[in-house]
Structure 1
């Protein structure tokens, strides 16, 4: 578990933001530690700490350019800077907004927001590297086996028992994406409900810019669409609840261990229904997920 002492955090804020911490507003740790603070000068700031990676400089620059172009995202304040052996960044806290309410117009609003983001983002040549992509976007991870190294599990997913069709589908997905001639664009690799805040139909802020990636636009759009469609096909709830898209990281409770037949990283664990497992303790119906995962893919 990542941790930074309050004293060191306050000192970091004093040195990089001009004022120490007056009050900690919230704190959460998962792949990174996110701390909302009020400084003694009254400013509200979010400090994010995680292990250093070169791509964090590119993520910060993408967020900075998007903010300058008036795309709704928090104002970045401090680029990756050492803090207790980790890399810390700071951005201005956006305290208001809500998840987009479930209704018929929600998919169109999300699609318009993603299109706006990609249109406003810098070109690949304008930003520092965003490689390597996070595992759930990392079909080109370069390892000889199907599944990339998970960022949140201490297991080799290639050695985890599971349905053979899922491995076969993963291989076909990798082959198809690797063969594309579509150019990369800069976008958000985790463009889901929990990373957006809205006021009515107006997009207020997109969060989690550590997930900035350079991928083909079709892959960025397809990733979000596939999650929504698979989620709706596998939920066993009354119709009014099927319209709600449950985000991947709404709840930060400990993840259940992988079981035989459980889903995997990338196409499986990330893309088809892990939120069902974490939100309500329901394991995805793998037979129901199979046609969803394989639709539109050519057979080898």
Structure 2
């Protein structure tokens, strides 16, 4: 691709040039809000290239076409092996300097452009709705996603690290999603090791076939307005996993607001599942679909294990980054409360 400035890429794809920078957000990817000179407001996403991004984008297009509240994907993902697709440090640099990578060593990049969706008035990212509403919203997403032609799409594998209990890497833990620590070199308390190994065994025993769903159903990825779902973001986190695992992971984190201590209570997670199942019972998606099968008894164990895996993985990352005793204690209490629901033995729970 040579060394195009980011504005040249936008101009070539959308036929307009960026003017005002509205915002930028950097975590696992860089999201750049821009007002174009033709009046359109867009978000440009730049992240290290993964093959799965193409399939994630296909699902986003299917959901948008079906009327689900998600941003309209205008272009991408466009693969580039050139760090020049990264934006400059300051908005003023758009017209005068190429975009040079600042800190990443990625070999290539994925660039996507989508229409900016204004947050609902009087509401903000991070609002946690009632648990049942959130479960119903996830069911709607998964019902519509089941219409995606998965056989014609690129693979959605591998899932993000926090859902990668089947990862092929050496060691028990996968590589973290947001750092370069070796989680397998970190000493963890026995209760965390035992719980993580147990829930991984439960998840690896799941016989339910994969369905498509959202793998990062945290409240900072979801906007609500007046008690209704307004828009869902983070479509790079679309996954193909057993249904109860997707729902359980979401029920374990749906109230999380970034790094704030805002985990759902046990009742919250139970209510989330109740909302999901109530919606699932009246929103069938076609004969033969995995979503049409009854919620099997084994699904409950997988549901609770998936939520616990996410918390165990996050606790292991926190240990690598100097977690406080108070944070670990909160995790221990959460695991102790839910472990029996995964079918763990009394001897294991006794150490909690």
Contact map agreement 2:127 2:223 (CA 8 A) in 1: no
Distance 2:49 2:16 in 1: 24
1:108 — aligned with what? 132
Q: Deviations over 1:194-228 (max 9, x none)?
A: 11112212211100000000011111111122236
The answer on whether the counterparts of 1:67 and 1:73 sit within 8 Å (CA) in structure 2 is yes
RMSD: 3.0
Partner of 1:191 in structure 2? 217
TM-score, normalising length from structure 1? 0.78
- For 2:263, what is the secondary structure of its paired residue? helix
Give yes or no for contact 1:64–1:76 (8 Å, CA) kept in 2.
Answer: yes
Which residue number corresponds to residue 283 of structure 1?
Answer: 327
Superposed CA deviations along residues 23-58 of structure 1, whole A, max 9, x for unmatched, are 110012111111000001010000000111100000
2:46 equivalent to 1:49: yes
Provide the rounded CA distance (Å) in 2 between the counterparts of 1:42 and 1:188. Answer: 31
Q: 1:202 aligns with which of 228, 231, 237?
A: 228
Please name the residue that 2:94 is paired with: none
CA distance in 1: counterparts of 2:332 and 2:126, whole angstroms: 30
> Greater CA radius of gyration, 1 or 2?
2
Give 1:180 deviation, angstroms.
Answer: 1.1
Q: Which runs of 5+ in 2 are unaligned?
A: 87-107, 256-261, 267-307, 346-352
Question: In the alignment, what sits opposite 2:116?
Answer: 93
Compared CA separation, residues 201 and 233, structure 1 to 2 (3 A): closer
Larger helix percent:
2
Which consecutive residues of structure 1, in runs of 5 or more, have no partner in the other structure? 235-263
Aligned runs of 1:256-275 on 2, under 5 Å? Answer: 266-270=310-314
TM-score, length-normalised on structure 2?
A: 0.67
Moved segments of 4+, more than 6 Å? 271-274
Q: What CA distance in whole angstroms lies between the structure 1 residues aligned with 2:201 and 2:5?
A: 46
Question: 1:153 deviation in Å?
Answer: 1.9
Which residue of the partner structure matches residue 14 of structure 1? 11
